[in-house]
């Protein structure tokens, strides 16, 4: 492990212990904003801290085994056992070192965040809306398999069972690091149910995966917001609530418009809409910074821009192709039922390979 990494891990250890003390400070406990901020940071550092403690513990055990191997009084049998144990611990140490190195990468600072997922029908009309519903099912089933919690924020259904838009939150372990590369344009090729001639149509759906932002990360001034209320409507234009419970928030400086109508309470809809707005503003802030970084780096697995076609789902050939890593899998039905691990795993491995290349270029 490099000196810079050891220094960074020592800082993580110091900060984690410092946060533990802060979280028991009465002044912090009385300040909701600080308490949320420190609690979030504490949880984000937890995995790195405990891995670092385990790493140092194994190092000490290896040192003790080396003392046994150098002790002339020990029997050959004991030394052979010590050598075998040392080899096993060195392998474990190497695995932990790799995990720690990955955790220290700048791009992973949101890896433990929950996310807001936005799915919107693109080109293709009703067929695109139907596929948006398919992708919603794919991500929710994938999340359920991992024990994540899905919370619907806003849906705009069509009368044929599709979605013009589906916005939802996913909470759980390593959600953002797992789903971050799903952002982009997803293309579907299939024969629509309404197509009598059997002609294959191509439609698109956009997906955005946004790390949830904390209140302290983005500044939202009340005077910058316009908040409107209106009736919630279901498929076919039917009223769901008799009161104006749906909320539309317009952020004047950026023009971002967030709408939420899934809750019966106007207050709850406003809270959810603000969560999405904070995530959108954080994403915009990060995108501006990333554009500057991208001028110096060439290791991106796709830029994550919504205009970029990242994947094609071909129904006639039972094929899913990820264009960024040139991967084709013939298990479309399984993938749409949430069996996404082969796709996700391949993307993450590619990312690690590209990081190694960039590291060599910068040294």
**Length in residues, the chain:** 363
Cβ atoms within 10 Å, residue 176: 19
My answer on whether 8 and 100 are in the same domain is yes
Chain mean pLDDT for the chain: 83
The more confidently predicted of residues 58 and 270 is 58
Domain boundary among 104, 138, 161: 104
72: Cα within 13 Å, side-chain hemisphere: 0
- What pLDDT does 351 receive? 67
Q: Which tokens go with 316? A: 């006639």
Determine the average pLDDT of the residues in 79-108: 86
What is the C-alpha to C-alpha distance for residues 195 and 340, in angstroms, rounded to an integer?
29
SS (H, E, C) 67-127: HHHHCCCCCHHHHHHHHHHHHHHHHHHHHHHHHHHHHCCHHHCCCCCCEEEEEEECCCHHH
Please tell me whether residues 261 and 119 are part of one structural domain. Answer: yes
Q: Kindly report the number of other CB atoms within 10 A of residue 267's CB atom.
A: 10
Residues 204 and 249 reside in one and the same domain: yes
| Residue 231 within a domain | yes
- pLDDT tops 50 at residue 363: no
Cα–Cα distance, 344 to 361 (Å, whole number): 26
Which helix (H) or strand (E) segment holds residue 176: the answer is helix 175-179
Domain edge (last residue) among 104, 126, 146: 104
Task: Estimate to the nearest angstrom the gap between the alpha carbon of 110 and the chain centroid.
Answer: 8
Mean pLDDT, residues 81-108? 85
- Give the contacts of 162 (CB within 8 A, at least 6 positions apart): 121, 126, 128, 129, 130, 131, 132, 133
Whether 117 has a pLDDT exceeding 50, the answer reads yes
Q: Say yes or no: 148 and 95 in one domain.
A: no
170, part of any domain: yes
Where residue 283 falls among pLDDT bands split at 50, 70, 90? Answer: confident
Residue 83 pLDDT level (bands cut at 50, 70, 90) = very high
> Is the CB of residue 52 less than 8 Å from the CB of residue 12?
yes
Same domain, 27 and 168: no
136 and 74: one domain? no
How many domains does the chain fold into? 2
> Exposed e or buried b for every residue in 112-132, given b needs 16+ CB within 10 A?
bbbbbbbbbbbebebbbbbbb
pLDDT of residue 132: 95
Q: Are residues 185 and 331 in the same domain?
A: yes
Quote the domain boundaries for residue 25.
3-104
My answer on whether 281 and 142 are in the same domain is yes
Q: Count other Cβ atoms within 10 Å, centred on residue 20.
A: 12
pLDDT of residue 362: 40
The domain that holds 148 is classified in CATH as 3.30.70.1660
Residues 196 and 171 in one domain: yes
pTM (2 d.p.) = 0.61
Which of 104, 136, 153 finishes a domain? Answer: 104
- Residues of the chain by 3-state class (helix, strand, coil), percent to 5: 50, 20, 30
Is the predicted pLDDT of residue 305 greater than 50, yes or no? no
């Amino acid at each position: 492990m490099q000196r810079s990494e050891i220094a960074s891990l020592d800082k993580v250890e110091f900060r984690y212990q410092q946060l533990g003390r802060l979280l028991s400070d009465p002044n912090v406990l009385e300040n909701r904003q600080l308490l949320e901020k420190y609690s979030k940071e504490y949880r984000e550092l937890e995995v790195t801290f405990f891995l670092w403690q385990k790493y140092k513990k194994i190092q000490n055990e290896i040192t003790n085994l080396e003392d046994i191997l150098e002790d002339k009084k020990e029997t050959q049998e004991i030394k052979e056992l010590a050598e075998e144990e040392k080899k096993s611990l060195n392998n474990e140490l190497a695995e932990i070192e790799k995990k720690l190195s990955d955790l220290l990468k700048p791009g992973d600072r949101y890896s433990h965040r929950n996310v807001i997922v936005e799915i919107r029908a693109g080109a293709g009309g009703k067929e695109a809306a139907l596929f948006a519903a398919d992708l919603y099912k794919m991500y929710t089933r994938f999340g359920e398999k991992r024990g994540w919690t899905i919370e619907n924020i806003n849906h705009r259904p069509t009368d044929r069972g599709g979605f013009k838009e589906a916005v939802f939150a996913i909470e759980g372990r390593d959600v953002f690091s797992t789903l971050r590369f799903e952002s982009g344009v997803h293309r579907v090729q299939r024969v629509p149910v309404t197509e009598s001639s059997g002609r294959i149509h191509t439609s698109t759906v956009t997906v955005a995966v946004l790390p949830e932002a904390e209140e302290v990360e983005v500044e939202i001034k009340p005077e910058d917001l316009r908040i409107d209320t209106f009736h919630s409507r279901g498929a076919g234009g039917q009223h769901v609530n008799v009161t104006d419970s749906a909320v539309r928030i317009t952020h004047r400086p950026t023009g971002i418009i967030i709408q939420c109508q899934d809750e019966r309470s106007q207050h709850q809809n406003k809270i959810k809409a603000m969560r999405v707005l904070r995530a959108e503003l954080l994403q915009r802030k990060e995108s501006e910074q990333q554009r500057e970084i991208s001028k110096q780096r060439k290791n991106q697995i796709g830029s994550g821009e919504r205009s970029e076609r990242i994947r094609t789902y071909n129904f006639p050939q039972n094929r899913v192709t990820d264009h960024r890593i040139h991967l084709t899998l013939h298990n479309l039905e399984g993938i749409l039922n949430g069996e996404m691990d082969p796709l996700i795993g391949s993307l993450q491995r590619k990312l690690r390979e590209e990081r190694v290349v960039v590291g060599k270029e910068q040294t």
